[in-house]
Amino acid sequence: MTATIRRIDVRPLRAELRRPWGPDVRDLTFLAVEVEDSDGAVGDGFSWTPTIGAASVRAMLEHDIRDWAIGRPADATEVWEPLWRHLHEAGGGGVTTIAMAGLDLALWDLAARRAGASVADHLGRRRDRVRAYGSGINRHYPFDELVAQAERWVAAGFDAVKVKVGLPDLADDVARVRAVREVIGPDRGLMIDANQLWTLDQALRAVDALAPFGLRWIEEPLRADDLASHQRLAAHLRLADAFDVPIAVGENLYTRYRFAEYIDAGVARIVQPNIVRVGGITPFLEIAKLAESRGVQLAPHLLLDLSAQLAMAVPQEIAVEAAEDASLAELGVLADDPPVAVDGGWARDTSQVGLGLRLAASVPTPA
């Protein structure tokens, strides 16, 4: 008989950022989710929000999700789709899927721990390590700090790096991207991320000015919900024979349907699902299958301690984002040793049983 969900406990955990991501993002809130099944097996997952929305996510978990899930099968693949349909009146994505991730991750952790395996082995390991690229939330860094960060990435052995753009004066973006390219040299990959800050006109001017620095991709150049403008920008990039820069999107897309729209519209050549924002491992694996079937690149957004583990098991070779000061281990939110280690530009899992992402009881204030 299939075990059922007997208990769901939710606990908030706030982590102050040592280097704020901006004036409005100075801390992150994690919601630790512990699930117990009818056989007494336990799994640990989490939901995550930068500053905004934690109270809403917690309420969704402690009421709508818990009320629906108790007594249902303790199997992520069985409950995800019916739970999403049940919650859909509250929205198909955003708070809904972020909250669902807490339950989904806990159920995958429970299943892997029951099997006595790491999540990569439980899913079906395909590789023992994956490439990582250096990344940082650095738009607000002074010029010298940005250069120093790029130097740290080179010293750490990363073969690709990503920097933020979207400053009020395009000339400043050009100067900063030029400086990073000079630091990393001509052979390392360079990606830029505008975090949805440009209008279409601004994006058209910016890509013309920045593409000559040899960009591997341009990430979130426009508002994520403006598909029409993305199509116009993609058409402009395809017509520019001197630089055909791929557009990367996905950290603010919440369902496989939206990912399919962007891929099929000819916009997304790199998709970047955030495993928590899309609702956990179950939908992430569906998006990975979609990307493989459409021949587009998969590059998960943030959450290195989780995304690197899944990267060991998906069919396609992918690179994972090693954002400075942003891993769960660096934030100090893990109760145990981190499940992922990065060395020489490579990420590997440490083969812990389950996800290895049990959250700490508290987080020390950063120095």
Enzyme catalytic residues: 164, 301
The C-alpha angle 306, 308, 314, rounded to 5 degrees, equals 105
> Three-state DSSP class for 155?
helix
Structure tokens at 329: 């281990």
Q: How are the residues of the chain apportioned to helix, strand and coil, as percentages rounded to the nearest 5?
A: 40, 20, 40
Euclidean distance between CA atoms 7 and 245, whole angstroms: 48
122: number of Cβ within 10 Å: 20
Q: Could you tell me where the beta strands, DSSP code E, fall in 156-195?
A: 160-164, 189-193
CB 265 within 8 A of CB 288: no
CB 55 within 8 A of CB 26: no
Amino acid, res. 355: L
